[in-house]
Amino acid sequence: MTQTPVFPAARAAGCPFDPPPDIQALQEKTPLARVKLWDDSTPWLVTRYADQKALLSDSRVSADVTRDGYPSPAPIKSASISFILMDDPEHARLRRMVTAPFMIKRVAAMRPAIQKIVDDLIDEMLAGPKPVDLVEAFALPVPSLVICELLGVPYSDHDFFQDNSSILINRDADPDDRAAAAGRLFGYLDKLLGEKLENPGDDLLSGLTERVKKGELTRPEAAQMGVLMLIAGHETTANMIALGTLALLEHPDQLAALRETTDDGLIASAVEELLRYLHITHNGRRRVATEDIEIAGHTIRAGEGIILANDIANRDPAAFPDPDRLDIHRNARHHVAFGFGVHQCLGQPLARLELQIVYGTLYRRIPTLRLAADVNDIPFKHDGSVYGVYELPVTW
Ligand code: HEM
């Protein structure tokens, strides 16, 4: 065993946008290191970009959370599991059922509706009192409204699903509380599916009920898929909007370049660079080896856990020159912020479109947007499996 830093380490020390320096330092000298988790298990931590891509596309690497050796970030008590934590062929069977609505062309057709959501929320902010918490007023509502529309979930229930989802993804929450939150979300989605079985609409959940009727999918499988998409669809993008805005406010030259451009290409490139630089899913991809694997001069034995620290890979100088610099003009599209391999983010075309519209609109419409608090007083989500800020007080 080469080294055992306790993982996950908080990002608290130093720059709030950088991965923990002690973990980042492993990349140069110990790209495969053993780390110690909350349950005293010692999985491998992989920090280099090339090694991560090799492992994430290796069929001897499993995402099955029920396998011995799986390096879970926190105790798991929930009984139902979604396809993000399964292997093929089950994973592929379920994923295939929801790929169509996330295809680039279908997502592109949502542009006018998303632009209207963004513009309406900015109008409301401008008409209301200031300072305002950007998370509550804008960052959370944008992706929540979008995913509700796509799935056919009533947005009026947003307090319920946002509250339960934030318990579920908080790795420091009591495991029983997390299991209870998962149960409530499952029950909610199951009830909605029941209503749509009777009265189908033109939405993704109604599409799933058709498959349930045909016997291609069980109702619990459909409900679990609904939970996954509802959570994945709003938590991640919301954090990218708020943390991305903070990062830009702290890099005024980059913000000015973005605000002043009319070039859609530069806006798209800024989205990729912010995804790379901020890498919000900072718990890493969690996997377990099903056979012995030789990599980077080591042997990962069958049954050993593997954590692929994608946030560190996105700062690998071999893949991104001068990686700790935020530069919206660089080509960062090969980042691994959406993961890599068969589990690569299903919703990435939608996340990209939402972020392009948000970053291309918010700073242009509110050119004097600025922080209304000291950056040192901003509460960061060190305890979440998705990184971001709990609040972002802004004014203009
Ligand atoms: C900026 C926003 C987003 C980020 C950074 C992000 C990140 C990720 C990452 C890293 C994975 C891979 C997990 C793994 O390999 O273990 C993933 C998977 C997934 N994401 Fe996203 N995501 C985002 C937005 C979305 C949206 C809007 C949806 C819409 C429903 C979504 C749905 C999913 C689903 C269903 C999976 C599981 C895919 C599979 O296992 O085959 N994500 N996401």
Question: How many angstroms separate the alpha carbon of residue 347 from the centre of ligand 1?
Answer: 6
CA of 276 to the centre of ligand 1 (A): 14
Pick from 58, 91, 94, 236 the residue to mutate for probing ligand 1's pocket: most ligand atoms within 8 Å of its CB: 236
Residue nearest to atom 9 of ligand 1 (CA): 338
Q: What is the pLDDT of residues 266-315, one digit of tens each?
A: 999 999 999 999 999 988 999 999 999 999 999 999 999 999 999 999 99
What's residue 1's pLDDT?
A: 47
Task: Say what the pLDDT of residue 2 is.
Answer: 46
* Spans of the chain below 70 pLDDT: 1-14, 77-79
Span from the CA of 95 to the centroid of ligand 1 (angstroms): 12
CA of 126 to the centre of ligand 1 (A): 32
Check residue 7 and give its pLDDT.
59
Q: What is the pLDDT of residue 5?
A: 59
Q: Which residue puts its alpha carbon closest to atom 22 of ligand 1?
A: 345
pTM of the complete model: 0.95
Q: Which of 145, 307, 338 to mutate to test the pocket of ligand 1 (most atoms within 8 A of CB)?
A: 338
The predicted-structure confidence for 177-186, as pLDDT tens digits, reads as follows: 888 999 999 9
- Residue 9: what pLDDT? 52
Q: Which domains are present in the chain?
A: 21-395 (1.10.630.10)
Q: Any residues with Cβ below 6 Å from ligand 1, and which? A: 63, 83-84, 95, 228-229, 232-233, 236-237, 240, 280-281, 285, 337-339, 343, 345-347, 350-351
Distance 129 CA to ligand 1 centre (A): 35
Contact 64, 86 (CB under 8 A): yes
